[in-house]
Amino acid sequence: MPENGNRRIKIMEPGENLYMGGGILRRGDRVGLSCCSNGLLEADKGSLELLKERLALIGLETVESPFLYRGVTAFSGTGTQRAHALMDFYRDETVKAVFDVSGGDMANEVLTDLDFEMISASDKIFFGYSDLTTVINAIYTKTGKKSGLYQLRNLTGPCWQEQFSQFRETLMEGGSMLNNFSFHFLRGTRMEGTVLGGNIRCLLKLAGTQYWPDFTGKLLFLECNGGEVPQIVAYLNQLSQIGVFCQISGILLGTFSRMESRGLHPTVEEQLLRMIRPELSVAKTFQIGHGSDSRCLMIGDHIRIHQALQEQKPPA
C-alpha cells in the first residue's frame, strides 16, 4: 500500500462514473461562467481569458455572466442581479453546465432569489468552491441534486496541465480522474453515505436557515483556506453544539491551508478527534480544498471509502 510518511493511503474508486456513464460535456457545448460571491478584480481578466482559450481547445464555448467583475466595492452586482444571471444559465438550453469562478464572502446573498424548482427540473450540474459551499448545499437541501465542489480556474493555475487532463478525461470522456482522491484514515476503517459540506466557515452561514441540510446519516466534508486555531475551534464547536457530530456517519477532512502551511497546533485533526464520539470514522485527504491541484468532490453524491486491502498507486 502506498505510504505518505507513516500514513496509509487508499484511493477512492467510485463504482461508476459519477456522471452516469459518460461525460456531461461534449465538443461544441456551451458552459456558463457565473459569479455568485465577491466580484472578480480587473486584474483577473487575463487569467479568465486564458481559461476561455483553454476550454476552447477542447471545443467548449463559454458564456459569461454580465456580473463577473467588481466595481469600486466587492460587489459585481446586487444579490438579485447575480442570482438572476445564474438562473439565466438554467433557462438557456444551450448551456450544459455552470461553473462559478468566484469566491469570498457573499454567495449566500443570492439564495433567496434562486428558482430551486427550475434547478430541480434541470439536468445541469453547478460547480463552485469555497464560498459557493452555500449555494451547493442549498441546492442539495432544496432539490436533492448533487453539485461539484471545484474551481474551474484551476485550469489556469500552477497545476493546470494535470488539471486540464483530468477535467477533459472526466467531464468530457466519462472517466473519473478528477473525482478520484487519495486519503488515509485517522479513525475507523470505512465510511459510506451521501457526502455534504465543503468550506467549514461558509457552510456555517446556512445554520438556522431553510437551506441547512439534514445531516442525519450523511458524511460531512470539511476544508478551509484561512482560519487559524481560534477560528477552527469556533467552527468545530458550533458544528458540535448544533448537533451535527451526533447526526453524521463519518467525516472526511480536506486541506486546511493556513493551519497546515504554518504548522499550527493543536491541529484540526487533534481538535476534532477530541470532540466527536469514538465510533465515528474520520478520514483525511490532501487532494480536496483550495489547492490549485484540488480534485472535484461531488456534494450530494453517495460515496464509499474504505481501508485498502491491496497496494494501489496514487492517481496520476
pTM of the model: 0.92
Phi first, then psi, for residue 101 (nearest 5°) are: -105, 15
Question: How far is 192 from 146, CA to CA, in rounded Å?
Answer: 16
Residues assigned a catalytic role:
130, 223, 290
Q: Is residue 229 within 8 Å of 192, Cβ to Cβ?
A: no
Question: How far is 115 from 102, CA to CA, in rounded Å?
Answer: 20
Q: Provide the CA 112 distance to its chain's centre, in angstroms.
A: 21
- Domains in the chain, start-ordered, CATH in brackets? 3-17+179-306 (3.50.30.60), 30-172 (3.40.50.10740)
Q: What is the pLDDT of residue 15?
A: 38
Question: How far is 251 from 73, CA to CA, in rounded Å?
Answer: 37
163: burial class by Cβ within 10 Å (0-12, 13-18, 19+)? Answer: buried
Question: How far is 222 from 251, CA to CA, in rounded Å?
Answer: 8
Closest CA to 14 of 223, 147, 192: 192
Could you list the pLDDT tens digit for every one of the 316 residues in the chain? Answer: 333 433 434 444 543 444 445 699 999 999 999 999 999 999 999 999 999 999 999 999 999 999 999 999 999 999 999 999 999 999 999 999 999 999 999 999 999 999 999 999 999 999 999 999 999 999 999 999 999 999 999 999 999 999 999 999 999 999 999 999 999 999 999 999 999 999 999 999 999 999 999 999 999 999 999 999 999 999 999 999 999 999 999 999 999 999 999 999 999 999 999 999 999 999 999 999 999 999 999 999 999 999 873 233 334 3
Q: Is residue 160 within 8 Å of 132, Cβ to Cβ?
A: no
**Strand pairing report for 7-8 and 3-4:** antiparallel
Q: Is residue 186 within 8 Å of 283, Cβ to Cβ?
A: yes
Q: Is the peptide bond before 266 cis (omega within 30 degrees of 0)?
A: yes
Q: What is the pLDDT of residue 307?
A: 86
Closest CA to 248 of 188, 296, 290: 188
221: left (phi over 0), alpha (psi -120 to 50) or beta: beta
Question: How far is 141 from 93, CA to CA, in rounded Å?
Answer: 24
Question: How far is 15 from 240, CA to CA, in rounded Å?
Answer: 32
Q: Is residue 290 within 8 Å of 223, Cβ to Cβ?
A: yes
Q: What is the pLDDT of residue 92?
A: 98
| Size of the chain in residues | 316
